[in-house]
Structure 1
Amino acid sequence: MTATAPEVVFPPLARDRRVQGWILSAGVSQAGDVAWYVGLAWSAAQVTTPAGVGLVMGIGALPRALVLLWGGALADRLDARRTMILANLGRILVLAVAAAVVGLAGVSVPLLLTVAAVFGVVDAIYTPAAGTMPRRMVRGDDLVKLAAGTQLANRLAVFVGAPLGGLLVAHGGLAAVMLVNAASFAVIAIALVWIVRPRLPQVSSGGASVRADLRAGFAYLRRDLPARTLVIALSGLNLCVGPVLAVGLVQRTSWAGWGAGSLGLFQACSGLLAAAGAVLAMRWKPSNPARTGLLALIFQAAGCAAIGLVPRAGVFVAMGVIGFTAGLASAQLSAVFQRTVDPGYLGRTSSIVSLSDEALMPVAMTGFGALVSLAGIAAACGLIGAFFAALMLWSAARMRRPPEQGGPGRLDRRKKQPAPAPE
């Protein structure tokens, strides 16, 4: 008799301890990261100039951008779970050594720059590896729920981590923030060792070298229309919304004289509605989630355009629409991305999307700021909103066929084997 491979059993998501451990540990780690960035910014402000603070907060983006593509190739070559464990152990070691240096010599700009730069490198290795995990843990039908649950955990982490970072740095100094962040990395490392284990095997790249894998990754995007469309759409989404929220909303609030308190309320409104959108994503199963998510983002584009024009009450509505559509569409498109991209290229493809944030976002921010100076806030927001909507319509038109709903994608497409003949 011919031996057959054992069937993979996926428990219901509500009772799946591996998935629950993944979401909770990732949320704890995210809260630690948020607290760390608050503590880092505050500590830098105490020892250097505003320009120095900007350098400390931005220095990690350079090594992250330089290493991201290599990190994506490594994610497709090496065991993702082990890579993530080693990356977290490296973060813990860096923070422990830095906390000891702070205790002995105090906070200094070189120390802050070094830690931020090292974190940028580790992030570039960790993030693509983490991006390959969801597809190997749950059924294809559960990917939207997993993405929505992760998004909810991250939203809660921001609400918890920001005030936690302020309290820690105020009462315990930067060393306390470092130790708490190290503990959060220990939580996810322990979860990866004992709880979070992928159920499906990793499809590793077969290139002769990392450089060859990188070339193969770009060649894959050139020949795979759905994957290429999603990469363009997700990259464009980040580059359109980021400048409007980071520059346009701040300028509109300042010029209208609404005060810093209003800015915080706008952001809180967006965050709360994003959580509501993620909850809806858990329950709603459209026939073509790719097109549904992309078309929903047209409303987000309208919200971006409205920020530069409507009165204060209208900005609350616009931010609510932006948040709600982000929560809904992000979960849907994340699941579509996992199902659509060939599993052997998932790390490299996700690293290309992440690279748009790291390498192109500063250019987008600067360009949008210049556009505001030249044409005014209303025209700048209107133009970027129109471009955003057009990009989503173009992408939706190219995603005509829904991805497979029966499994995690190409990874588990098996031909039925005929029954063996009796000997």
Structure 2
Amino acid sequence: MHGWILSAGISWAGDVAWYVGLAWSAAQVTTPAGAGLVMGIGALPKALILLYGGALADRLDGRRTMILANLARIVVLVAASAAVLVWGLSLGLLVAVAVVFGAVDALYTPASGTLPRRMVRSEDLVKLSAGTQLATRLATFAGAPLGGLLVAHGGLVTVMLVDAASFVVIALALAFVVKPRLPQPASSGRSVRADLRDGFAYLKRDVRARTLVIAFSGLNLCVGPVLAVGLVQRTHQAGWGPAWYGWFEACSGIAAAAGALVAIRWKPADLARSGLLALVVQAAGCAMIGVVPRLAVFVAMAMIGCTAGIASAQLSAAFQQSVDPSYLGRSFSIVNLSDEALMPLAMTGFGALISLSSISVACGVVGVLFALLMLWAATRVHVDSAGARLGERT
């Protein structure tokens, strides 16, 4: 478990440093439109391949798939570094690397979703999820300034080589430290397409799994635009300045780390219901951002961060416990696809809602919808859980 948490932190720190270096380098060699292309183009192959990646994750060994994906990342980064040294930095090279990384992520991400269930006992899944979240939060604080320092003093080549080294560490950890205690149940479909159809059919007949997939897909589409668009617009329109925006984000990150620590100690009877109800508090924080004064925004961000830390750990564990192990990769890929495919639409729609009304109205509407979705999901999983317990007694 500790090896998995450590490798997750190293991976996240390397990713954050890479994206900082990529964004800065793109800004140096192309126009703002070109830089936007570089930063966004990787989502396209990931969105196109992600569902197939989930089906493959349920057919193949997840740990081996992750190792091979990391080796592919290393090869790409080393080859790109050599290309920069020989031919120099160019828009085409940056786009090519972003596209390949997006495709590899589509294979790596669903495979990573199949491992926690196989590594630890069911009662330790919250600890694993909370520890992983805490590691990634701390890695974000370290990775962002690291990426800035590396690209400033060594250029993108240095960033790529450091990121490649992080992938070497992760591959070695997966190969020699992370040892699943349970075998992976493989899907039995005739083909990948048949497995995809079977994955959707499984969610159609399993109420609890379907409810969690819908809740997971919806919560990011609600809170993401509020933090990425609403908070920025509120800070700008109020004339508070970018420094305050940074402090707001830092408050949320610290609170999320604290929430993850709380989740390690707190053991509610129904993890899914507890996590979903905690997100109702997060929805209230989203609504507050649009109306409260500056100092109260810190309270709202602390509410969002702390409940994210608690709910993410509890819901991740509930997801692993609730979804049939042979469908974990496909279910995980569907949740991730909502972020990749629908998040741009959610961001655009939220921005349009602000333009048509106001920040306070937009945040309030999204906060209410967010809370209603979580309450609906909490009711569904509670009824399904109660029905399952009744069935066991009879």
- Into which bin does the TM-score normalised by the smaller protein fall? over 0.9
- Asked if structure 1 preserves the Cα contact closer than 8 Å seen for 2:55 and 2:330, the reply is yes
Corresponding position: 1:381 with 2:363? yes
Q: Deviations over 1:156-188 (max 9, x none)?
A: 110010000000000000000000000000000
- Asked if structure 1 preserves the Cα contact closer than 8 Å seen for 2:207 and 2:384, the reply is no
Counterpart in the other structure of 2:75 = 93
* Superposition map of 1:46-57 within 5 A: 46-57=28-39
Letter of the 2:346 partner, please give it.
Answer: A
Q: Distance in 2 between matches of 1:107 and 1:316?
A: 41
* Superposition map of 1:5-404 within 5 A: 19-400=1-382
Q: Deviations over 1:272-305 (max 9, x none)?
A: 0000000000000011111111001000000000
Q: Distance in 2 between matches of 1:403 and 1:179?
A: 48
Q: Distance in 2 between matches of 1:288 and 1:401?
A: 11
Q: How does the TM-score come out when normalised to structure 1?
A: 0.90
Greater C-alpha radius of gyration: 1
Letter of the 2:163 partner, please give it.
Answer: N
Q: Distance in 2 between matches of 1:53 and 1:262?
A: 26
Q: Deviations over 1:37-63 (max 9, x none)?
A: 000000000011111111100000000
Q: Distance in 1 between matches of 2:243 and 2:385?
A: 44
Per-residue deviation at 1:104? 1.0
Per-residue deviation at 1:401? 5.7
- Asked if structure 2 preserves the Cα contact closer than 8 Å seen for 1:339 and 1:403, the reply is no
Q: Distance in 1 between matches of 2:274 and 2:7?
A: 30
The answer to which structure has the higher helix fraction is 2
4+ residue stretches of structure 1 with deviation over 4 A? 401-404
Per-residue deviation at 1:197? 1.3
Give the gaps of 5 or more residues in structure 2: 387-394
Counterpart in the other structure of 2:391 = none
Per-residue deviation at 1:106? 1.2
Identity %: 73
Counterpart in the other structure of 1:410 = none
Q: Distance in 1 between matches of 2:203 and 2:384?
A: 19
Q: Distance in 1 between matches of 2:118 and 2:253?
A: 29
Q: Deviations over 1:198-235 (max 9, x none)?
A: 10010100000000000000000000000000000011
Letter of the 2:196 partner, please give it.
Answer: L
- Asked if structure 2 preserves the Cα contact closer than 8 Å seen for 1:81 and 1:129, the reply is yes
- Asked if structure 2 preserves the Cα contact closer than 8 Å seen for 1:99 and 1:175, the reply is yes
Q: Deviations over 1:346-369 (max 9, x none)?
A: 000000000000000000000000
- Asked if structure 2 preserves the Cα contact closer than 8 Å seen for 1:340 and 1:403, the reply is no
- Asked if structure 1 preserves the Cα contact closer than 8 Å seen for 2:257 and 2:306, the reply is yes
Q: Distance in 1 between matches of 2:113 and 2:84?
A: 33
Per-residue deviation at 1:402? 8.4
Q: Distance in 2 between matches of 1:178 and 1:61?
A: 19
Q: Distance in 1 between matches of 2:151 and 2:370?
A: 39
Q: Distance in 2 between matches of 1:21 and 1:296?
A: 29
Letter of the 2:269 partner, please give it.
Answer: S
Letter of the 1:173 partner, please give it.
Answer: G
Q: Deviations over 1:238-290 (max 9, x none)?
A: 10000000000000000001100001000000000000000000000011111
Letter of the 2:254 partner, please give it.
Answer: L
Local SS of the residue matching 1:87: helix
Q: Deviations over 1:19-45 (max 9, x none)?
A: 111110111111010000000000000
- Asked if structure 2 preserves the Cα contact closer than 8 Å seen for 1:278 and 1:331, the reply is yes
Letter of the 1:140 partner, please give it.
Answer: S
Give the gaps of 5 or more residues in structure 1: 1-18, 405-423
Q: Distance in 1 between matches of 2:383 and 2:161?
A: 48
Local SS of the residue matching 1:274: helix
Per-residue deviation at 1:111? 0.2
- Asked if structure 2 preserves the Cα contact closer than 8 Å seen for 1:287 and 1:402, the reply is no
Local SS of the residue matching 1:399: helix
Q: Distance in 2 between matches of 1:219 and 1:244?
A: 33
Q: Distance in 1 between matches of 2:317 and 2:279?
A: 16
Q: Distance in 2 between matches of 1:296 and 1:195?
A: 34
Q: How does the TM-score come out when normalised to structure 2?
A: 0.97
- Asked if structure 1 preserves the Cα contact closer than 8 Å seen for 2:186 and 2:326, the reply is yes
Per-residue deviation at 1:313? 0.6
Local SS of the residue matching 1:197: coil
